[in-house]
Structures are given as C-alpha cells and as structure tokens.
Chains A and B, each alone.
Chain A
C-alpha cells in the first residue's frame, strides 16, 4: 500500500548528518569554554615556579614538572595534624551530611506531594520563597545560634545548619509529583503503613532524585572550608578543604595550591560521572511542571 520514497529518506538522512556536524562544531566551541578552567587547573599543577609568575601569565605549561606534587607531599608531612585526619574528617562529614540530607528531604517531600493536610500549601509556598532568601542577611544571627547551641567545635556544625535545603526539597517534591498516586493507594489497600509506604515505595522510586541531590550537594560539602574557619578551633576537626585552602596562602606556594585544587576536584568528577546518567534521567522526569 505504501511506497517508501527511498530517495527522500536518503536525502533526509544526509540533511541530518549535515546538521549533526554543525551541532558538533558549536558544541565543541562551547565545550572548550567550559573545559578551559579545568585545563588551566591541570596546567597550573604542572607548572614550574618560573612559569607560574610569568607576566603576562601563560595559559599552557611549557616545561611540565612534578615538583608541585613533591612539595605537596612535603607540606602534608609537616602539617600539625596528619593529612589522613583531614581526609577522614571530610569523608565522614560528607557521608553523614548527604545521608541525613537525603533522608530528611525525601521524608518531607513525601507528604508534601502525596498527602492533603492543612498547612501543606503554606509550607510549600514557604519553601519556594526560601529559594530566594539572601542567606548573607542571616550570617551573624546564624553564628550566634550555632554558638548558643554549643555545636561549634564538633562535627555537627558541618552537618546540621545546611540540612534543611529548600532547593533539594523543591527538586524532590517535583520528582515525587511525577509518581502516580495509584501506586501508593495500591500499597495502602494491601495494608502498608505510612512508614512502609515511604521506605518500600517512595524511596526506591526517588533513587534518581537522590542521585541528583548527591551531585548537587557533594562538591559543596566536599570542598567545605568556611565552616572550618568560622566555627572550628580544634585542628583535629578541620576539613581537607580547609587544609588545602591554607596551603595556597603564600605566594611561594601557588603551584602547590594548584595541585591541591586539582586533587580536591577529582572525587567530585568521579561522583558525577558515576551518577550522571541518573541525573539526566531525573531532570527529564522531574520536568518541574
């Protein structure tokens, strides 16, 4: 019945290929701009001192050396607290923070999306307005609250203040909205309690949203250094991010700072590469409608 116009199909395919090439060119140019800082970071890490202080500064390295890496090992060997302690602190804080964050926000998003209860709309409006809060306005009161709770100088100060994140809750809620209500109704008919509905149905279905939350928050908490400077006086409780930022203090250690920054970046990139397909998925599904 239908005659396939082979010529037309061939032409269409060719046209598409041509378009594909144009796209690739544009994306490569754009991608280069996005890659530049990373390349610059890598280059700086391998630059010998005389190249670091060239004026005008050069982008690429011409005589790459491992000197900066050697210096970094020397600096870390001489630090007040063993390097591994900083690493341990950071890993502990990151894992604890992300676990709690995901737990708290998934729990809050479940009734916000699937239940009807008085005060729900007000709560959600508050969340959306909170996205626009200028947190700098609350800096000093926040400091005083933290000191009055006596959680300064403990691990808790890294974890507690940032847990109630409106951005993550907003994302989770949008994703939860996409999950059909019928699934939960079915569970309820089978006699599942609310807790069971949350752990057995909501959590597995939110896996992609969780991955997104991990990516969006990971690099922030992994590189944390401001909290260490403001609230922590014991060197043993400070983070890797803080340690790395102190290394770059002097002009003489620019290269070492570059190496430190490079090393700090790697975990974030690895986490992203592992989780990225899930994130794209989430973004597609959450749709923010």
Chain B
C-alpha cells in the first residue's frame, strides 16, 4: 500500500515536471518548427483564399474590390445564398449530382473491393494487372481531358469505341450511354482499389488459417473474416468516393461555378454556391458516418 502511494506520488511529480519543465516546451517548439513550412503554405494558399471566399459570398462584388474591403462592393448579407437557392437551374443540377453520387458510390466501392480481392490472390502476372488497374491515376490532366472530351474528332473514349468499329454489336443490344457510364465509374475506382489492397494485406493470415482449419470455404471466410476486418476501409473508401465524385471536375456543379466566375460579376454567387455545396457534402458525409458507425471496429 505504502509502496503504491510512493509510486503514485512519483508519477505525479513526473507529470508536473513534464508539464512545466523545459522538455515539454522544447517538444512544442520542435513540433511546430518542423511543421511550419507546411503550415505556412497551407494558410497562405488554402485557408486565406477560403476565408476570403466566405467574405465574398456576402457581397455583390466589383472586379476592383473583390472582398468588400474597399467599400465599392455592396454588402448584401445572405442574398447571394437566397439567389442561389431560388435559381431553379442550379437546384436541379445540384440535386442531380447528389443523386448520381448516391448510385455511383456503391458501384465504385463494390467494384474496387471485388478487384482488390482478386488482385490480392497469388497468380502469374499479378504485377502487370496491378499496374493496369492503376493507369487512371497515371493518365492525369491534359490526357484525361483529351480522352474524355466530347469535341469533334476525339469523341469520349468509352462511348466512342462502343458506338463504333469492332464492338458495334454492343450498341445494338444495350444503350451505349449506360455502358460508357459504367466504364467511367470503373475508371474512377483506382485509388479505392489501392486502399482495399492495402487493407486486405493488413488482415492477419492467422485468421484465415484458423477458419480454414474449422472447415470454412473461401466464400465463408470472405464474409466472416475479410469483410468484418476491413469494414473501416469500406467506409473510408465510400467517403473517399463520395468526396471524389462531389469535387470532380466533370461534375456539372463545377461547370456552373466556372460559368459564374468567368462571367466576372457573379463572384459572390459563385462563392455562396460553392460554400453551400461544400457544407451539403460535409452533411452527407456526416450522415453517412453516423449511419455506418456501428460497423466500425
């Protein structure tokens, strides 16, 4: 008993020195020094622009005074937000893009999980397949724009190849746009496949050995070992896919934003729309997390 008290006192003493001693302070300084380059860049090129865009969203702005500091722009309160909500065209596009995400996300996640499970198996040429499924990440930027643009001559790849040439028969059986959409969805699941692969590799092999000894089939061990074990990653991937489809450049909402900003006078409205959109996205993710929380380990 006495020993314990002494031990406790020692611990307390240790704690207090940690709190007020130089060690803690030095660690703080070190911690912040190491992260400062990143933090400065983050504040300067992300937080400040974001803050300014919040401010812009409450003004009807002029080009010479985009944030309303100079007094040339007029403060309108929530008028921009109300205007955006009232605009039927915007509402429809936003609603549609949310609806699209709702059916896209499950497909992406299921497909990614399926492919990841297959890619995890040991078979000849595994590396080649892994590289192939990662191609979309490699082909970024200009090339993606080139491939998926619908301009004359370079028609969108998936619809292009299906409506034509070698696979013309497919377009007769099915609606081409559906196939091209499936193709695009599959294509946007690269990162998810990678995350699932990583998750699958983190499942201890012992578990599989145990259930195999108990006579479980591969099918059973997938549902009772693999899936429960990687369920946090399923949710992570779903969130990733959600965010990805919300902020994707090909999302029509992004098109509206671009249109508003390029018009020159609607910065306020554009900012209001993008903030509402972001908050709505966060709300969807929050609801999703709350719904799926009980599956998290």
Contact = CB atoms under 8 A, between A and B. Distances in A.
B137 interface: yes
Interface residue tally on A, bucketed by range: 35 or more
A56 B164 contact: yes
Q: Main SS of chain A's interface residues? A: helix
Contact of A27 (B115, B167, B246, B271): B115
A81 interface: no
Contacts of B236: 288
B46 A108 contact: no
A137 B138 CA distance: 26
Contact of B197 (A31, A58, A145, A283): A283
Interface string A135-150: 1111111101100000
B130 A265 contact: no
Nearest to A216: B137
B102 interface: no
A20 to B, nearest CB: 5
A125 interface: no
Interface stretch (B2-10, B28-36, B81-89, B92-100): B28-36
Greatest chain B CB density within 10 A among A134, A163, A273 is at A134
B147 interface: yes
Interface residues of B, number: 94
A27 B274 CA distance: 39
A74 interface: no
Contact of A38 (B139, B158, B267): B139
Contacts of B138: 215, 219, 265, 268-269, 272
Contact of B153 (A23, A53, A118, A120): A53
B187 to A, nearest CB: 7
Interface string B266-282: 01001100110110011
Given A145-B44, A248-B146, A220 B140 contact: yes
B215 interface: no
B77 interface: no
Contacts of A289: 202, 232
Contacts of A93: none
A244 interface: yes
Contacts of A231: none
Given A107-B34, A107-B38, A123-B35, A219 B140 contact: yes
B135 interface: yes
A204 interface: no
A45 to B, nearest CB: 11
B141 interface: yes
Contact of B135 (A34, A110, A136, A160): A34
Interface string A211-223: 0000110011011
B163 A56 contact: yes
Nearest to B123: A20
A56 B274 CA distance: 38
B91 interface: no
B157 A36 contact: yes
A165 to B, nearest CB: 9
Q: Main SS of chain B's interface residues? A: helix
Given A56-B164, A134-B274, A219-B140, A144 B34 contact: no
Given A60-B165, A145-B48, A261-B143, A31 B243 contact: no
Nearest to B257: A136
Contacts of A284: 197-198, 201-202
A238 B139 CA distance: 21
A108 B38 contact: yes
Give the 9 A-B CB pairs with smallest separation, nearest first: A164-B41, A223-B141, A138-B49, A137-B274, A283-B198, A111-B31, A108-B38, A117-B31, A141-B49
Interface of B: 24, 27-28, 30-32, 34-35, 37-42, 44-46, 48-50, 52-53, 56, 66-67, 114-115, 118-119, 121, 123, 125, 127, 129-143, 146-147, 152-155, 157-158, 160-161, 163-167, 183, 186-187, 194-195, 197-199, 201-202, 218, 232-233, 236, 243, 246-247, 254, 257-258, 261, 267, 270-271, 274-275, 277-278, 281-282, 285
26 contacts: A26-B114, A26-B118, A31-B129, A35-B132, A35-B135, A36-B183, A40-B157, A44-B154, A57-B153, A59-B167, A104-B37, A107-B38, A108-B39, A115-B30, A117-B30, A120-B31, A137-B274, A160-B41, A160-B45, A164-B41, A248-B146, A257-B146, A265-B143, A268-B138, A284-B198, A287-B198
Given A23-B121, A57-B165, 9 more contacts: A33-B183, A36-B183, A59-B164, A104-B41, A145-B44, A145-B45, A254-B154, A272-B134, A273-B131
